[in-house]
Structure 1
């Protein structure tokens, strides 16, 4: 089952060695160790652009992983692959599933916002200005939540929210 780390840099190889050691010494079940191993192999394949192999590993990890929090990261990575392949509808499904298991995943919120923003831009190009505004509002809602969770991230999104008048500062509570 271990994936070869042929193209990994020093940091990736070090991570792999440390992860292997942790897997051996941590008091986890064999099932959890296998799930993590598949997840790690999926991440490695994904980093190399081997999306089909990455998906196979992620699906195996999902079959074995029972922890909702850990599953959220597997689902998120599956969503990333679908986004990379231009399959935005499928990507959204996986991002939503990730958020169901882990509502505090700002990167999933950001990626949902990016897809809605992209669709809003497409709607403008197709002369559908009303639809574009609905999509931009959805993007704004997801970006606001992502920024609330990670205030120092998503600077471009913060600028877009300000430039479009969608940035609303919370009322101070005294």
Structure 2
């Protein structure tokens, strides 16, 4: 049974009905509509914590989706799942693929920076000061890119860039 038929609460059912109506009325081909249906089911499964099911739906959506912008969001969501499961290297792969397709995706840039920052902290805790600093520098570069695209976002990152001396940007906010 498709996930769209299993939603139990009113809001999920309402969203599903609206999404199905929009999908039917979209002036696009059947393949794009199927890709969107898989993407929508993937998002629903992801929201429910059903990551394996979400990944299956996203993989099917990727097989059908031709639009690079839409593909970037599918890849981004796959990266979110791997990051939440602690598979940081795999998450980085998906985030980078998403950015390759959509360079103006600050949320993917931010998530890459978060992973590099986390890895930098772990390296320093393990006594690898130079490796930790190199990872912090990588994080800083990605945060700067994200902030250039979305200057009012990522306030904590902006503060970290300032306090760590890794910012040569004059205006953040």
| Alignment TM-score, normalising by the size of structure 1 | 0.93
Gaps of 5+ in 1: none
In the alignment, what sits opposite 1:25?
25
> Offset at 1:141?
0.3
In the alignment, what sits opposite 1:93?
93
> Offset at 1:19?
1.5
Given that 2:140 and 2:161 are in contact with CA atoms closer than 8 Å, whether structure 1 keeps it comes out as yes
1:65 correspondence with 2:62: no
Segments of 4+ moved more than 6 angstroms: none
| Alignment TM-score, normalising by the size of structure 2 | 0.93
Given that 1:5 and 1:44 are in contact with CA atoms closer than 8 Å, whether structure 2 keeps it comes out as no
Gaps of 5+ in 2: none
> Offset at 1:134?
0.5
Partner secondary structure for residue 49 of structure 1: coil
Give CA deviations for 1:120-139 in whole Å, capped at 9, x if unaligned. 00000110000111100000
> Offset at 1:35?
0.2
Q: Structure 1 residues 22 and 91, CA, compared in 2 at 3 Å: closer, same or farther? A: same
Q: Structure 1 residues 101 and 132, CA, compared in 2 at 3 Å: closer, same or farther? A: same
Matches within 5 A, 1:39-50: 39-50=39-50
> Offset at 1:17?
2.0
In the alignment, what sits opposite 1:140?
140
Given that 1:71 and 1:101 are in contact with CA atoms closer than 8 Å, whether structure 2 keeps it comes out as yes
> Offset at 1:5?
4.6
Partner secondary structure for residue 28 of structure 1: coil
1:104 correspondence with 2:136: no
Distance 1:104 1:7 in 2: 36
Q: Structure 1 residues 8 and 94, CA, compared in 2 at 3 Å: closer, same or farther? A: farther
Matches within 5 A, 1:117-128: 117-128=117-128
> Offset at 1:169?
1.9
> Offset at 1:167?
1.7
Q: Supply the RMSD in Å over aligned alpha carbons.
A: 1.5
